[in-house]
Structure 1
Amino acid sequence: MPPLRTAFDALARLRDARAFHPKGARVDGELTTLDAGPWPLPAGSAQVAARLSKGAGVPDGFRDVLGLAVRVPLETGPWDLTFSTIGSLTRILPFPARGWCDASYSSLAPYRVGGQLRWLLARAARDQPKVDASLRAARRLVRGGGFELVLSSATAIGVPQPIARLRLHTVCDDAGQPTFDPMLNHPPGVTLYPDWLTKARELAYAGSRAGRA
């Protein structure tokens, strides 16, 4: 077994959970496409499953890399989008955030789509209340009127362009926890770049799945 897969397998076994983002809140929501451009998003609105998570799983009250995973239903099958909070200087490195509405979220790696490399970004809508980085606060935010985010497409240079709105409206603590996996669940022809990073992420996700099993 490759070393990277072995490491993620061991960490998942140790935690008895995902290697990273082990703690999360399962929620339901609605994705409304604004201007998809080259992205294969559903026309109009679609009901989605999502998960809000803490990357390292540190106790409440501490900053953490916050995660957002969304399963978008397409005719070709589910498309799992995963985002992590980032700092102000780069889209490719995860960075701890103070709260769910304070930071930008990024796919970290770009997608090869429409003949260009493009990142998917997300940020809380302007009118969202400020809450801390705990899962308790995330659930309260969703229950208190919904957690609304704007999804954008961004090239290496230029201004990000909004492509969809996401409203997370229902906490589903009693529902099963699906495994969001962007390496397994994606539309044909929409792949993460570069190839070596994609291979590394495939090994990491496979190790985490094996360790949980």
Structure 2
Amino acid sequence: MKISDVASWPVQLGAAARHRRLFHPSGVLARGSLERTSPIGRGLPVYSCDVVGRLSKGVGTADSLPDIAGLAWRLPPQLSGTPWDVLLASTLAGNRFLLWPANSWAGITFSSLMPMRFEGTLWWLRARLNTQFDGSGLSLTSVNAQLERGGMEFDIEQSSISGEFEPLARLVLREKLPHGRDVSFDPVLHTAAGVRLVPDWLTDVRRVTYHRSRIGRSAE
């Protein structure tokens, strides 16, 4: 049995017990747009388009309690024929892969946690909220209120494995989608042509884990 199978079985059982995602079970889904600000051909092949995004709490703590914050968005199919799902999570400030619980939506640094290989270069992604956020704590209710007040804007940045972060795109979430609507984000199954997460062994763990999670909650 491979390590990916061993790691994924608890996720399937947990999702089955909760009848929803084991990780990031609580979230707000919204329509929005992504605008590329970096010159075409520089770095990852992100393109300007309408997107569906999700802000979530990793463990699902109640109300405004601290948690691992999640930010995900789906770009519609382009050259690859499949959508492109990008998933980021809150990390310790200045760190690319160390998960860290956030106390508030303001001031979070979201990271891809794993680099993406594209045309022979490894690229990291991060996002930072660029909107004055009135809500206190890490409450999803405050996210709903902020969307009603005009939306939330994020600066998306990229960095080569040895370089500094630079502007890549601007993400704006504007309109909350109806309660009960869901999207099964999967950054391994849904990716842009020529883009893949590395290292391969960890990508395989994530691939099987997301698959088991969907089976556990009957989403596949």
- Report what 1:128 is aligned to: 132
2:59 alignment partner, one of 45, 56, 59: 56
Cα shift at 1:89: 4.3
Structure 2 residue 163 is matched with structure 1 residue 158: yes
| Range that drifts further, 96-105 or 50-59 | 96-105
Q: How many residues align?
A: 210
Tell me what 2:120 maps to: 115
Return the alpha-carbon distance in structure 2 between the equivalents of residues 178 and 129 of structure 1. Answer: 25
Equivalence for 2:84: 79
- CA deviations on 1:3-37 (whole Å, 9 max, x unpaired) are 22211100101111111000111111011111151
CA RMSD of aligned residues (A): 1.5
Paired residue for 1:5?
Answer: 8
Which of 176, 190, 195 is residue 195 of structure 2 equivalent to? 190
Read off the aligned partner of 1:72 and give its amino acid letter.
L
Offset at residue 160 of structure 1 (A): 0.6
Asked if residue 179 in structure 1 is aligned to residue 181 in structure 2, the reply is: no
Output one character per residue of 1:123-168: Cα deviation in whole Å (capped at 9) or x when no partner: 011x422532111011111211110001000123332111100010
Instruction: State the 1:173 CA deviation.
Output: 2.6
Give the 3-state SS of the residue equivalent to 1:168 in structure 2: strand
* Range that drifts further, 167-176 or 2-11: 167-176
Deviation per CA, 1:100-142: give whole Å up to 9, x if none: 22210011011012322111110011x4225321110111112
Alignment match, 1:204: 209
Identify the match of residue 172 of structure 2 among 167, 170, 173: 167
Aligned partners of 2:127, 2:77: CA distance in 1, in Å? 20
Question: How many angstroms apart in 2 are the aligned matches of 1:157 and 1:140?
Answer: 39
- SS of 2:60's partner is coil
1:157-186, Cα deviation, whole Å (9 max, x unpaired): 332111100010001134620111111100
- Percentage of matched positions with identical amino acids: 36
- Work out the CA distance in 1 between the residues paired with 2:107 and 2:94: 15
Q: Which residue of structure 1 aligns with residue 29 of structure 2?
A: 26
Give the unaligned 5+ runs of structure 2.
none
TM-score (norm 2): 0.90
1:41–1:74: 8 Å Cα contact kept in structure 2? no
Q: Does 1:105 align with 2:90?
A: no
Could you tell me how far apart the structure 2 residues matched to 1:186 and 1:156 are? 20
**3-state secondary structure, aligned to 2:29:** strand
